[in-house]
Amino acid sequence: MNWHQVIDERSYEMHQVIADVLRRSPGQLSLVTAWIDRMLGNPDYSEQNKDALREWQAVIERQGVRGVLEVLGSRDDEATRLRQSTPFAVLMPQDKRLEILNKYEARRTRASLAGV
């Protein structure tokens, strides 16, 4: 497994924690939409990042929590790409975040570089 695959797996695991938060408390999606709105209005936030946020915003507006959960739980290429520009960090419990980061950091030395 190369390091990019490890990062994608780490992201997937983090997003499963976020999905659990949303299942228990769907109203917390409003924290995400507020954060997206702030970043879209921030002139210092890059246009590339804004484009990614607009994609998430469209998922939220069209499909709500159900659509978000579908993307967070999918392992297809599109969902993996979307998770690379996530607006959901505001929902991630810090203790779980650190636990997952530490778990995957231990795998860093065992993962090969992409293309190697």
* Ranges under pLDDT 70 in the chain: 1, 109-116
Residue 22 structure tokens: 């949303």
- pLDDT of the residue at 37: 98
Q: Please state, rounded to an integer, the average pLDDT across all residues of the chain.
A: 92
Task: Say what the pTM is.
Answer: 0.85
- pLDDT of the residue at 31: 98
CA distance 55 to 59: 6
Report the candidate in 90, 111, 78 with the shortest Cα–Cα distance to residue 33. Answer: 90
